[in-house]
């Protein structure tokens, strides 16, 4: 995947924590550590948004729609 270089400003304590993770071998570089953290956070936001949307669904209505689809498929197979 193509990458794009960006500049960010990070507080000194966060940089120290990132550097410690790199020294411990958990990441190859600061860039890898930050990229991993961003991917994790974006994934969290995506899962939260999905959960909020799923919570809006009515299980009974979804079940009825699924049964209608299955019944329609069965009727098509009969012909």
Is the predicted pLDDT of residue 27 greater than 90, yes or no?
yes
CA–CA separation, 58 and 39 (whole Å): 31
Greater confidence (63 vs 43) lies with: 43
Dump pLDDT digits (tens) for 47-66: 998 888 888 888 898 888 88
* pTM, 2 dp: 0.62
Secondary structure class of 19 (helix, strand, coil)? helix
Is the predicted pLDDT of residue 72 greater than 60, yes or no?
yes
Note the pLDDT of residue 9. 97
Dump pLDDT digits (tens) for 31-42: 999 999 999 999
Q: Where are the domains of the chain?
A: 12-78
CA–CA separation, 36 and 27 (whole Å): 9
């Amino acid at each position: 995947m193509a990458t794009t270089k960006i500049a960010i400003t990070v507080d000194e304590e966060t940089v120290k924590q990132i550097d410690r993770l790199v020294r411990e071998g958990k990441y190859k570089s600061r860039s890898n550590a930050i990229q991993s953290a961003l991917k994790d956070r974006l994934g969290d936001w995506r899962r939260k948004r999905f959960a909020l949307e799923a919570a809006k669904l009515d299980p009974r209505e979804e079940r009825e729609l699924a049964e209608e689809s299955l019944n329609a498929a069965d009727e098509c197979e009969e012909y």
